[in-house]
Structure 1
Amino acid sequence: MNPVVIISIVTGLIIILLFIGTPLKPLRIIGQGIIKIVIGALFLFFLNVFGNNYGLHVPINFATSSISGILGIPGVVALVAIQKYIL
Structure 2
Amino acid sequence: MQPIVFVAVIASIIFLLLIVGTPVKSIRFIGQGLIKVIIGAVFLFFLNALGNQAGIHVPINLTTSVIAGILGIPGVAALAAIDFWVL
Does TM, normalized by the shorter one, top 0.5?
yes
1:40-74, Cα deviation, whole Å (9 max, x unpaired): 00000001011112111111001000000000000
Which residue of structure 1 lines up, in the alignment, with residue 41 of structure 2?
A: 41
AA paired with 1:39? I
Structure-2 change in CA distance of 1:7 and 1:63 (3 Å): closer
Length-normalised TM-score, structure 2: 0.80
1:84 is the counterpart of 2:70? no
Which residue of structure 1 lines up, in the alignment, with residue 58 of structure 2?
A: 58
Return 5+ residue gaps in structure 2 as ranges: none
Identity %: 58
Structure 2: distance between partners of 1:45 and 1:83:
15
Which residue of structure 2 lines up, in the alignment, with residue 23 of structure 1?
A: 23
Structure 2: distance between partners of 1:44 and 1:35:
14
1:6-48, Cα deviation, whole Å (9 max, x unpaired): 8777666544433332111111111111110000000000010
Q: In the TM superposition, what is the alpha-carbon distance from 1:84 to its structure 2 partner?
A: 0.7
AA paired with 2:85? Y
Aligned length: 87
Structure-2 change in CA distance of 1:49 and 1:23 (3 Å): same
Return 5+ residue gaps in structure 1 as ranges: none
